[in-house]
Structure 1
């Protein structure tokens, strides 16, 4: 199938779909608007009648219907309503389009609200069939003495909808015919604009843009061999803080952004990857790739920009995975030791001691898990903390979750990954602090609470503390007091960054030789 035919068929199908959606949607809108109009009109008429002095005075005569019936019937014909019924507090009719039904009780079961003093619009079924009604209470000296019900039959409303739909359908057909004609004209002009080329022929011309598609699809800027911009996407506009309606195509790249090195790439014909570039105070990683035509000549270059913060987020995710893996490894190692102990007791015939050992382990484990499930019901946080307990046991660290901890009221918009980043890095930092200390008793205490308007996370250790001379630098990326380590200087920096993103605060107190206490406060809103 030729491109011209495909375009014609595609545009026609699109027009049919749009027209169908328009027809379906417009019908619902007509019906809804017509019901709203009729309901509002019925309520307005009912309220107007309820304020009429003659209607109120008639309630105190011997035969109210003789006064009320002529008045409301005249109004009913003027407003083209199907019925106007006036009834007393006992729902006995004083008026009705059918005089034989005067004196009988009103039907529909929707008089409770108006008899309590509220005007309403309702849909119900009465003696004349399903109808849309406006009902208003009749007040006299502040008391409800009766009710006015003005209604339009649903069948009449549906008939009006059908009549309007016929008109809409006629207009829709005209639009469809116009759309088909437009489709033919558009298809013809597109074929003319691309010089009658077919997709295979266009694909060969598209190859010189292939390098752009192969690069990282973030902010993208492409230039020709003279350094003039040929392609720039919306993300590039965004990072450069340039409005989308400002045309950049044709401008020199150096007039828009400095130090892109795109012209150098054009001259050298060599790609450059993951180079840092400062743009308006933000650091971006830039890939620069030359555009080479089928003859091997460099006709331009393309650059893709990626915010360096993306790598920081990836590092956070990897930290989470590493923390989970460490927790699982520690738990596996710990339970292997316990299984060996149990095996030895059984081999020695110490069955009572083996049973006692199992009971004790079950009681301790189940008790702690029960406490976690009750006070920290989030499975991600609870599982993470449980893994840290296993790791602490392997490292011979007394890790305690404060008995008054409770973390139940965590807003759904606060990322659990962010909380894991904060808690995990603070706990890991505390573990490292007590492991480096020479004290025999190594303690780390975790306290979590969600009382009030903030989430509070506290981690306390009895390590050697933080030297006051370096205390102000502990949140700097790359700075660490640890003696070596591949990830030194990253943990507290990630905590600070995550807390800032959540709009929270982090403080700490420390005393040399006694330990450190970190406190994080994260607002729930």
Structure 2
């Protein structure tokens, strides 16, 4: 049976027990209240008659019955009691509902009344079991001259109780119907929420769900209608550096708080993440959002190295192409009988390339960076961009940056500058890399339009690109390295667009 079905059955049983028990207690209480009300009624009637000034006078008269019987019967008819007996202290009845019993002794207890007390009792008298009250009648001197008893038979009390019983039963049945309707409505709601599954199915689904959440290699964060995540698995906490306990949207990295649907690249201080956000839909209703997070840090590192190798290969291809052109030129000049011009042409071109190589190998004490700069120079030349490496470029040591990080930092800045410079009529790029005892400085200028404050702010906020495709990740990787080592990235437009990165030598 489903959870909703089991809850419904249990609720109906509980409601039946509660309603029946409540009904039984109500009936018992009503019966008790009925007896108490009868006692109060007969006591009031007896005391009212006993306290009437004419009562002791009538008892002392020559014919008490003639004076009292009509009056007591009139009162009995009005109040609905079954008998009113006025008697002498020796039990002799002066009045009674049954005329034949007048003059006969009263059957019942009168000792307490003779002592001056008003009391009630249940007694089997001439009319059967009854609840009666007995009270003394005193004269002006305070002497007890008679007694008054008023009573109602048990049969009449039962008839009155049974007359009100249908109302009690109706209320009990109505309460059970209302409780049943509420239970059915609650069961239907619970059935919708539990999809009609049984407890074992829910437990099994939860166990599998929990095991999958903790074992999958992707981060998973699920938000419902509220601001607090309903599901956060271990991988999501690791990738986003989230603390234990509840996770709210403001606990996520800033770039993920207002993310739109779809997939995006996001950077933290140490990772490159691919994040997808999609709405959770059920029967056409949006229940919330689910974020899946994949770590691309290692893959991006491999892609960076691949890009570097590809860049070197392109540079070698470009140099081979240029060397073939120069060689053909030299050969042609020799064939034309101009060997001296051929030698001068070859020597001048070789001297220009060799000077750059000698300068970089002498001033840059990092082979990977020197190779990168030489490769970028050839790559830029092939694309029609004049790339200049300034004379003050010198690097004794990259400081705390690894060779890979240094190549990533400088290479991506140069790539972005080459792309931006092509928007001008005479594209050029200028690169400066130097270090000191206090900091590492990388400055890349180009003839492009420059980067505005909003663009730079977005770049510093998260992985951001002004280009389409995967190559737009370059500036984001630069900002990641800068943030990791507490450096700074500034943009200005002076003699061209200038991006400057400084990283303190003692950053930690």
Interval containing the TM-score (normalised by the shorter chain): 0.3 to 0.5
Q: When the two structures are superposed, what TM-score results if normalisation uses the length of structure 2? A: 0.42
Q: When the two structures are superposed, what TM-score results if normalisation uses the length of structure 1? A: 0.41
